[in-house]
Structure 1
Amino acid sequence: MGLFDKLFQAAPEQTKLTQQEAFAGIAVAIAGADGSIASSEWDGIVNYIQRLRIYDNFSDQAFNKLFDKLFRILKSQGAGALVKASAEELSEELRLTAFACAVDIALADGVLEDSEKDIINQLASALAIPENTAVSIIEVMLIKNKV
């Protein structure tokens, strides 16, 4: 490593997340699990975020900063790492909502990829959601997203 390599290295990505980043992080992770975010998935993320009180005081600049951070983590560390970091910081009261949101977003494009199934399973475990509760949420979201 040369002298200038140390100076110009990228700083390691900070994965400690706020509540707002954690909730949005779960949504971004599920949407990006298959390698791309469909417009229907992005619309789902925006729809959920607009309805939650935890984002009431967020400006456009704050949202841009939040999503920039989440997309950097997704790109550099992957969806699994983003789920893990998000689940660690998400409050108990938002866990079921975040899980339902994630399943809804995964189903929004009409196709549930294996990578999305894997992230949903990982998410249920990371959020400590009982299996019967997770299955019930998935069943409701399947009904909701039927065409």
Structure 2
Amino acid sequence: MTLSGIRVVLAPAVLTMAADGRIDEAEVVQLTNMLAFSPIFLPLGGKATGDMIKAVLKDLQKSGPDKVITESAQTLSPALRETAFCFAMRVAMADGVLEESEKNVLSGTASRMQLSQESFDSIIQVVTMMQRSAAA
């Protein structure tokens, strides 16, 4: 996979991180940890992955979320759209809570990525179970 291909897998997660207007340390840590164990990002290493996150953030500021997510949806295979959405969902749940702004972004992302309702529901259900807060 090319660097630009890897970058579009990352874009929905970064968009979700930025959805509420701030990027929490817990979200950055969650995303960094996920990517460290992903076969897609493993060859890059930590520094290159961090640089890629920053580059996607710049793309969001420059071009806006619609263009960034549309590029991802048009570039990725259906299977990698699901993977990208899983990353986005896990980032949204980094603090154990799915905020309204995050729900809205995830719903729009799933729609743009043309996820089936079955895939969407499965990802939401499993990641919610995985990422519950200790207070649950």
Which position in structure 2 is the counterpart of 1:41? 27
How far off is 1:88 after superposition? 2.0
Q: Percent identity?
A: 30
Provide the secondary structure at the position in 1 that maps to 2:95. Answer: coil
State the alpha-carbon separation in 2 of the partners of residues 43 and 101 from structure 1: 13
How far off is 1:110 after superposition? 3.0
How far off is 1:123 after superposition? 1.4
Larger Rg: 1
Give the RMSD, CA atoms, in angstroms. 2.1
Of residues 56, 67, 87 in structure 1, which corresponds to 2:42? Answer: 56
Which position in structure 2 is the counterpart of 1:98? 84
Which position in structure 2 is the counterpart of 1:137? 123
Gapped runs of 5+ residues in structure 1? 1-16
Of residues 110, 114, 117 in structure 1, which corresponds to 2:100? Answer: 114
TM value normalised by structure 1: 0.76
How far off is 1:116 after superposition? 1.3
Provide the secondary structure at the position in 2 that maps to 1:146. Answer: coil
Of residues 26, 37, 58 in structure 1, which corresponds to 2:12? Answer: 26
State the alpha-carbon separation in 2 of the partners of residues 56 and 146 from structure 1: 26
Q: Is the 8 A contact 2:36 2:46 kept in 1?
A: no
**CA gap 1:144/1:73 in 2 versus in 1, 3 angstroms:** same
Q: Is the 8 A contact 1:23 1:90 kept in 2?
A: yes
Q: Is the 8 A contact 1:30 1:79 kept in 2?
A: no
How many residue pairs get aligned? The number is 131
State the alpha-carbon separation in 2 of the partners of residues 69 and 131 from structure 1: 31
TM value normalised by structure 2: 0.81
Which position in structure 1 is the counterpart of 2:53? 67
How far off is 1:21 after superposition? 0.5
Gapped runs of 5+ residues in structure 2? none
How far off is 1:84 after superposition? 2.0
Q: Is the 8 A contact 2:11 2:72 kept in 1?
A: yes
Out of 29-38 and 106-115, give the one that drifted further: 106-115
